[in-house]
A and B are shown apart, each in its own frame.
Chain A
Amino acid sequence: MNDKPIKVLVVEDEEGLADAMVKLLKIRGLDAFYTMDGPEAVKIFEEKRPEICVIDIQLGYSKLDGLEVLERIKQIDKSTECVMVTRITDEESIEKAKALGATHYLLKPLNSTEWRDVVLEVAEIVKQRRQSSGQSAT
């Protein structure tokens, strides 16, 4: 279990951006995949159980926005690390995301290096959690 790459679900409605995000994480050894749609994000989450979700709050024409996706994911597995992405003008959503259990939020336009570093930092937390749960099991 500990050797398996950490799974990351990216929920982002701008396809070119989502594609580049996933490729960037794959280079760093993470098992990343994306969807542009809220309901599909919840479905993928249930199937693949990623340990990290990076969710854009504004999901265009999706039936669920990013906050609703966050809420459903946290209902399924509270321990999932969720990084939210939004625009700076949306302070209300940032507060809601924090209340729903998101641990990090980043603002668009994104600084790609900062985004990468935050996701890698969260991946490190997940890795350490895996190791400590592995130790306590032995």
Chain B
Amino acid sequence: MANPLPNEKELYERIKSENISVHPLVWDTMYHYLGDYISAISFISLLYIEKNEPMTIADGKRIIEYTRKIIDVVGKILHPERINADGKSLEQIKAENMKLHPLIHDFFTHYIPNDTNCINFRVSYYLDPIDENPIPLEEVRKILDYTASMRNFLDRLREATNKGKGF
């Protein structure tokens, strides 16, 4: 899991006390895309844990694809100027220049990409085209933990930024 930022507790308190928020459309867009992609990785991983089998290369590749999509969406949320014909909500974020508060920006840059990259690296290791091997179960369990870490981060951040917004 991404290591907590050293002063994380104070940063969350600052978000609450200064009423730092995230535009509802940005939250909605993030949950729309990340919700699907993180869920898909979580379900594919649990499937192998339930079967008590290593993950196939084909599903490893699907997970890599989802990690790429997560990084792409997070990149667009962090840098709205890069959005280009990506659907109504993302285009509105660009048009209205809905940038994240620097503090939220830092949180996002730290957590979601780190957890996503960890999944990516762990899976990619087994996708060596010369010597492809199924992904061991212990790695699959870690992948599932990374999805939980991302979900927990989104929950914590949402709770902290929700003060007085009531949606």
Could you tell me how many residues of chain A have their Cβ less than 8 Å away from some Cβ of chain B? 23
> Contact between A88 and B40 (Cβ–Cβ < 8 Å)?
no
Contact of B44 among A20, A87, A108, A115 (CB under 8 A): A20
Chain A-chain B contacts (Cβ-Cβ < 8 Å), number: 74
> Contact between B66 and A27 (Cβ–Cβ < 8 Å)?
no
Given known A-B contacts A27-B47, A109-B35, A113-B46, A89 and B40 have beta carbons under 8 A apart: no
Give the interface residue-count category, chain B: 20 to 34
> Contact between A89 and B167 (Cβ–Cβ < 8 Å)?
yes
Main secondary structure of the interface of B (DSSP, over half): helix
> Contact between B34 and A88 (Cβ–Cβ < 8 Å)?
no
Question: Chain B: which residue is nearest A13 at the CB level?
Answer: B36
Question: Chain B: which residue is nearest A56 at the CB level?
Answer: B36
**Chain A proximity mask over B30-52: 1 for CB below 8 Å, otherwise 0:** 01101111111011111100110
Query: Does B27 make an interface contact (CB < 8 A)?
Result: yes
> Contact between B43 and A109 (Cβ–Cβ < 8 Å)?
no
Taking the closest CB of chain A, its distance from the CB of B52, in whole angstroms, is 10
Given known A-B contacts A24-B50, A88-B158, A89-B24, A110 and B43 have beta carbons under 8 A apart: yes
